[in-house]
Amino acid sequence: MTIAQNLMPSLTEGDSLRAQSNLYADVEAAYGFLQGLGTPSSDIVLYGQSIGSAPTTHLAARTVGLRGSVLHSALLSGMKVFFPEWKWYPVNVFPNVKNVQNMTCPVLVIHGLRDEIIDVSHGIELHRLLQLRSISVMPLFLPDASHNDIECFAE
């Protein structure tokens, strides 16, 4: 089995739509590389943490037969992180909330209840949406974990 993790460059330059496009191209290239090595989709588990969840859901929504996906401290969308009270956005980058509607592989949602960067409500809602599609496995919501320390807590 192969686990493909999104190793994200810093998003300090450029607009977010260009960054989104570049991230999607990167994850598609990584997947293509694995396919070129002869790795079947059924042996690939995608893993995306934080903003890395966006290219993960993008690829998983477009790829049939993946072994699974892990969404760690995932966001519903880029705009929802910064403007959680808004109901509509003129531009919505990193739309995980849309991508999960097209995913077919099993998905594990992991989120710390003390996440100070992306509120746990994002992970809860993603899990709920995935449950409606019957592809979510039991989520892992860790009471003492925050955004970048989930691996420090045994469950």
In one-letter notation, the amino acid at residue 152 is C
Which residue, 25, 18, 112, is CA-closest to 74?
Answer: 112
Q: Which two tokens stand for residue 73?
A: 């401290």
Decide if 95 contacts 77 (C-beta within 8 A).
Answer: yes
Decide if 78 contacts 108 (C-beta within 8 A).
Answer: no
Residues with a catalytic annotation lie at 50, 115, 147
